Amino acid sequence: MTAQAPFTGPTAGILDAPLVPAKVVIVDDMLPNALLAAAVVERLDGVEVEVFEDAPEALARCRAAPPDLVLLDYVMPGLDGIAFARALRDGLDGEFVPIIMVTGESRSGTLAEAMAAGATDFLRKPWDETELEARARNMLSLRRSYLELRQKTQALHVLATTDPLTGILNRRAFSEAATAEVDRVRRYGRPASLLMMDIDFFKRINDGWGHAAGDAVLRTFADHCRKHLRDTDHLGRLGGEEFAVLLPETDAAGALVLAERLRADLAAVRVTPDDGPPIAMTVSIGVAEAGAAETLDGVLRRADAALYAAKQAGRDRVLLADARAADGVA
């Protein structure tokens, strides 16, 4: 099984990703031209320039690691500026990388053609140094605004889908992911199972050791589950001390094995808050395999009933839901 990455903060690694140095790629089959332009662009603060004489090689580089700006010659043998711009735009999956098309071509329509192919700006040869510098600065600032906006959008997405205490999916994000999997069961006949998990006598932990210790137990519980699950499994906190896992491509037998392993290993875990003795916990788990025509609500209801039965039977145990209910049999 592949362990999922531990939670280190809701937006860690997104908002603090560095935006400098800015990478500028210059593509021109005439090396002296490219070097002249490089000398000008390198004057800008925090800029690193890479020069390419070979357009296909430059395109491969830009697709593998999108730069922050491309200065592109219009007329080149093999792959010209228009074809390059088009191929780059199509290969970036919506990512915005500004392109300044550089050309001595004075034919009318060249500008419109370059823009239609994906160029953001345009510079006529022979170019003026201050004009090149100003256009490069503008395009880099546009790219920076784009990257900042993208980071903030990604961070907002994480905040909207993550439970802040544990870092796993919140109820809404879990429901969305689980609904998609249950739909796959109906459409393609693939198996999927659901675990409903509830920590036993959690109220006693809160009452005995305080809310902060209770929170530490919840975090440890989520980390423990994360470690036992695959990247393709969906783990969510439905609220309080109730958690759920949707296991794609897993039938009831497989889900029972996993649930039993989670339960048994968790009973051996100890949470050690700063100023208290180690705290042990147990969990009760209800397991249900999605029926061929069932909705997520139906699977959740059956798994919940099995969880309730596990609590009634003494807690710290795994019970399988009644499969007949999934077929509409009362």
Active site residues: 241
Chosen from ligand GH3, Mg ion, none, partner binding at 315 (C-beta under 5 to 8 Å by type) = ligand GH3
List of E strands, 87-210: 99-103, 121-124, 192-199
Tell how far CA 242 is from the center of its chain. 24
Confirm if 290 and 194 have CB atoms less than 8 A apart: yes
Query: Please, what sign has the CA dihedral across residues 159, 160, 164, 166?
Result: negative
Rounded to a whole number of angstroms, the minimum distance from the CB of residue 176 to ligand GH3 is 22
Q: Which of 248, 254, 278, 100 is nearest to 183 (CA)?
A: 248
Rounded to a whole number of angstroms, the minimum distance from the CB of residue 95 to ligand GH3 is 38
Asked whether position 211 contacts ligand GH3 by CB under 6 A, the answer is yes
Tell how far CA 276 is from the center of its chain. 37
Pairing outcome for strands 121-124 and 99-103:
parallel
Please tell me whether residue 123 adopts helix, strand or coil conformation: strand
Residue closer to ligand GH3, measured from CB, 301 or 315: 315
Asked whether position 215 contacts ligand GH3 by CB under 6 A, the answer is yes
Member of 121, 198, 233, 304 binding Mg ion (CB under 5 A): 198
Q: Per-residue DSSP letters for 201-248?
A: THHHHHHHH-HHHHHHHHHHHHHHHHHHS-TTSEEEEEETTEEEEEEE
Taking CB under 6 A as the rule, which mask of x and - marks residues 169-208 in contact with ligand GH3? -----------------------------xxxxxx--x--
Cis peptide before 77 (omega within 30 of 0): no
Asked whether position 240 contacts ligand GH3 by CB under 6 A, the answer is yes
Residue closer to ligand GH3, measured from CB, 81 or 214: 214
Which residues, 6 or more positions from 276, have their beta carbon under 8 angstroms from its beta carbon?
A: 209, 213
Rounded to a whole number of angstroms, the minimum distance from the CB of residue 177 to ligand GH3 is 21
What tokens appear for 27 in the block? 């593509």
**Could you tell me which stretch among 8-16, 71-79, 209-217, 286-294 binds ligand GH3 (CB under 6 A)?**
209-217
Chosen from Mg ion, ligand GH3, none, partner binding at 78 (C-beta under 5 to 8 Å by type) = none
Residue closer to ligand GH3, measured from CB, 181 or 200: 200
Chosen from ligand GH3, Mg ion, none, partner binding at 36 (C-beta under 5 to 8 Å by type) = none
Residue closer to Mg ion, measured from CB, 289 or 304: 304
Member of 84, 174, 202, 209 binding Mg ion (CB under 5 A): 202
Q: Which positions touch ligand GH3 (CB under 6 A)?
A: 165, 198-203, 206, 211, 214-215, 218, 240-241, 311, 315
